[in-house]
Amino acid sequence: MESAHIESDLVNILFTEEEIQAKLAEMAKLIEADYDGKDLLMVGVLRGAVMVMADLARCLDRHLEMDWMAVSSYGSGTKSSGVVRILKDLDTDITGRHVLVVDEIIDTGLTLSWLISNLSSRNAASVEIATLLRKPEALAMPVEPKYVGWDIPNEFVVGYGLDYQERYRNLRCIGTLAPHVYS
């Protein structure tokens, strides 16, 4: 979906489709160098990370495996509920594997902090995070991603996998959602 179709729903566009693709290619080069010679398993956090995971994986010039987890701490609102639930667990045994968790955004850090702890307890060789966006002002839990596309202000953003009530995920850019949409 193009932003022109929902112009009144967005305050501004933070990143265009072209900027996102360039950033993912940049991140892929770093990942390739860091995991050279290592058995890499990318774990996408459903549903938001689908776009990021797919495009990041296509930027990598190497073999890798992919798996998915669905965890939630949001419910249907715009703020984290504080309770993390596994909705879909991994199908892959990660014992001895180098795991790269891919997410679209780090907001409070609650979900990813819990997820990293959970995955680390499964005897992985390493567990790291790649995220397209991070909101440093919103962090409530310590989370140290190894790869970050951009730091952004603590605003409600949608597009490229990010949603509000399951809408806007297919927007090709990332923009700030207008308050009149969610208030």
Has residue 80 got a pLDDT over 70? Answer: no
pLDDT in tens, 123-162: 999 999 999 999 999 999 989 999 999 999 999 999 999 9
The pLDDT value recorded for residue 183 is 86
Say what percent of the chain tops pLDDT 70.
95
The pLDDT value recorded for residue 72 is 78
Q: Which of 108, 1, 89, 83 is nearest to 46 (CA)?
A: 89
Has residue 19 got a pLDDT over 90? Answer: yes
Catalytic residues: 107
Q: Which of 97, 91, 92, 119 is nearest to 35 (CA)?
A: 97
The pLDDT value recorded for residue 7 is 83
> Alpha-carbon distance 180 to 122, whole Å?
43
Q: For domain 18-154, say whether CATH 3.40.50.2020 is its number.
A: yes
Q: What is the mean pLDDT of the chain?
A: 93
> Alpha-carbon distance 113 to 20, whole Å?
25
Enter the pTM of the model: 0.92
C-alpha to C-alpha distances, 159 to 36, 64, 96, 165, nearest whole angstrom: 32, 26, 35, 12
Position 40, amino acid: L
Has residue 76 got a pLDDT over 90? Answer: no
In 10 A of CB 117, how many CB atoms? 12
Position 102, amino acid: V
The pLDDT value recorded for residue 77 is 53
Residue 2 confidence class, pLDDT cut points 50, 70, 90: confident
In the predicted model, what is the mean pLDDT of residues 84-91?
A: 93
> Alpha-carbon distance 167 to 165, whole Å?
6
Q: Which of 124, 61, 66 is nearest to 91 (CA)?
A: 66
pLDDT in tens, 38-67: 999 999 999 999 999 999 999 999 999 999
Quick check: helix, strand or coil at residue 128?
A: strand
- The residue ranges of every structural domain in the chain are 18-154
